[in-house]
Amino acid sequence: MVHNHYLVRGGEDASFAAECGLLRSAGHEVEVYVRENEEIEQQGRLRTAVGTFWSRQSRREVAGILAAGSFDVLHVQNSFPLISPSVYGAAQDAGVAVVQTLRNYRPLCASALFLRAGEHCELCLGKTVGWGGLRYRCYRGSLPGSAVVVGMNALHKLRGTYPREVNRFIVAAEIVRRKFLEGGFPQDRIRVKPNVVPDLPDLQPGPRQKRAIYVGRYSEEKGVEPLLQSWVEGRIEVPLVMVGSGPLEEKLRAMTAGNPLVTFAGRLPVAEACREIAESELLILPTQCYETFGRTVLEAYAMGTAVISSRGTAPGDLVREEETGYLVEPGNVESLTSAIKRFFSLPGRSRGAMGQRALACYRAHFDRKSNLERLTAIYREAIADAEAARGRTAS
């Protein structure tokens, strides 16, 4: 299992750990190759930029691991920016199948979000060279950084890296599959498998407090500003617990200064965050971008907690309107405020029933056992595909 950790741990890092744990719990042997973004400061930005296109170090190190053992699959979770797609070739040389989880839209979009100035943007989707990403400096507002990402994507598009060297791709939601198909990825190799909820056997739903909770990054694309505007301008009169951290934290605290109903709990380990969710009646995830999944939604479902999320997004696709929660328009304060007030105006028994339906949905469709079955089925497909490709080459 191959993964590049970010400086600030997020959902991708948690999903990587959860998937390793899921496989190990079923008796599979999992060896990990991990690089940390702390290395960037040590090796310098120029060397990092070159390695983003094609990392000789990562390929060499992964090849060494594969040569030292007996492996069936090389599963790449996130390769940006230090690992790069160079590791696919190491697997091919070793006769090992390659699986890539597409955890964000980076191969199609320099920002990885399809979001610009708070609005959906697909200017570069399907293009060999994403000139729009360069023009608008979509990678962190940096022209050099955007040039590296746009160049990386163009190189691997022209080289045919993904269709030639990856046996199966995993996406967590149907909306993600559609975007990658529009971006030219091979339809017959993409499989939809939801992210894994961590194994938390000691956690049980409830007891509940009449409150809402947000768990995630404090950044523009997550819709946290409209969320807090709902409490400030919409005069919502139930408590809101904010779990997480991010670049907007100072601004969010200033927005709600003097409002005793809004509390900031900081970043919490997954188990503690799930405990907070389990004690809340409602999780709110008002994302303004497509997202690639909504693992927090499944954590809420596993805890028997109802959810409000945004229409037309991957997290929103998990919500069953008026059964397990409500859908709102992305970035629309009025729509969000109305849905929150609507939920808390329901009798306590009705709010609890919505959470119970969420729990039943999780158990029927998203539990760890069914997730493991889907994952290993994808591995078997990838192994068979790799073996067939080797047979064609040999003949």
45 inside domain: yes
What per-residue confidence (pLDDT) applies to 390? 85
User: CA 116, CA 119: separation in Å to the nearest integer?
Assistant: 5
Would the pTM of this model clear 0.85, i.e. be above it? yes
Domain that holds residue 253: 209-365
* One domain, residues 331 and 386: no
Residues 258 and 376 in one domain: no
pLDDT for the residue numbered 227: 97
Q: How far apart are CA 200 and CA 237, in angstroms?
A: 32
Instruction: Give the pLDDT confidence of 92-130 residue by residue, as tens digits.
Output: 999 999 999 999 999 999 999 999 988 899 999 999 999
Residues in the chain: 395
Same domain flag for 82 and 225: no
What residues contact residue 136 under an 8 Å CB cut-off, 6+ apart?
A: 116, 123, 146
- The reported pLDDT for the residue numbered 271 is 87
**Domain count for the chain:** 2
Kindly state whether residue 374 falls inside one of the protein's structural domains.
yes
Task: State the pLDDT confidence band at 87, using cuts at 50, 70 and 90.
Answer: very high
What percent of the chain is predicted at pLDDT more than 90? 85
Please tell me whether residues 384 and 270 are part of one structural domain.
Answer: no
Q: ω into residue 269 within 30 of 0, thus cis?
A: no
The SS3 call for residue 220 is helix
Question: Does 389 have pLDDT greater than 90?
Answer: no
Residue % of the chain over a pLDDT of 70: 98
Mean pLDDT on 173-201: 92
User: Do 82 and 219 lie in a common domain?
Assistant: no
Of 214, 237, 220, 238, nearest to 309 (Cα)?
Answer: 214
CATH number at residue 286: 3.40.50.2000
Measured between alpha carbons, how far is 241 from 353 in angstroms, rounded to an integer?
22
231-255 pLDDT tens trace = 999 989 999 999 999 999 999 999 9
Average per-residue pLDDT for the chain: 94
136 is a domain residue? no
Confidence of residue 369 (pLDDT cuts 50, 70, 90): very high
284 with 309, same domain: the answer is: yes
